[in-house]
Amino acid sequence: MGWTDERVESLKKLWLDGLSASQIAKQLGGVTRNAVIGKVHRLGLSGRAAPSQPARPVFKAPRPPRPAATTQPAQRRVEVVQPQAPTPAPVVYVEEPGSATVLTLGAHMCKWPIGDPSADGFTFCGRRTGPDGPYCGEHARVAYQPQQPRKRSGATDLARSLRRYI
């Protein structure tokens, strides 16, 4: 079987596709592997890899997309969290009800009034007084410390005035 133009084109195509001479011979039919090699040489296509070796199956793996080249290194955003000054919780001094009432208050019991003297729950501290006065140590400190600016309430005033008569 001779080399028609059509068969030559097929040969070129298959050769350039990477098929081996023997594979091409099989595809074309009617020619031997050696005939294919000879034709390839005559066509000047032999620049390809050695035709005597079976070509590896051409497997074109799809290339993974290149990661976009970053021209600049990603800026690291470092959030500097300024430590906030802890806001001191407002100290609410809530006194436990005292253990003494007007009726039970004894001579050596702290006379620190607790609560609203006009209310039922009004008590006196009732703890044992310290050496320095009518109050226990804790209340003596409060009583004799410099006056703190604070909102006066009617109850506080009443308690204060009441303290004078005890």
Residues lying near Zn ion in the complex (CB under 5 A) are found at 110, 112, 125, 127, 136, 139
User: Strand ranges (DSSP E) for the chain?
Assistant: 113-114, 123-124
Residue type, 152: R
Cβ 78 to Zn ion shortest distance, Å: 54
C-alpha distance across the termini of the chain, in Å: 138
> Considering beta carbons, is residue 7 or 163 the nearer one to Zn ion?
163
Cβ 126 to Zn ion shortest distance, Å: 7
Cβ 86 to Zn ion shortest distance, Å: 31
> Considering beta carbons, is residue 39 or 139 the nearer one to Zn ion?
139
123 alpha carbon, distance to own chain's centre: 53
Number of other residues whose CB lies within 10 A of the CB of residue 118: 11
Alpha-carbon span 34 to 102, nearest angstrom? 129
Cβ 116 to Zn ion shortest distance, Å: 17
> Considering beta carbons, is residue 39 or 127 the nearer one to Zn ion?
127
> Considering beta carbons, is residue 71 or 145 the nearer one to Zn ion?
145
Q: How many residues does the chain have?
A: 166
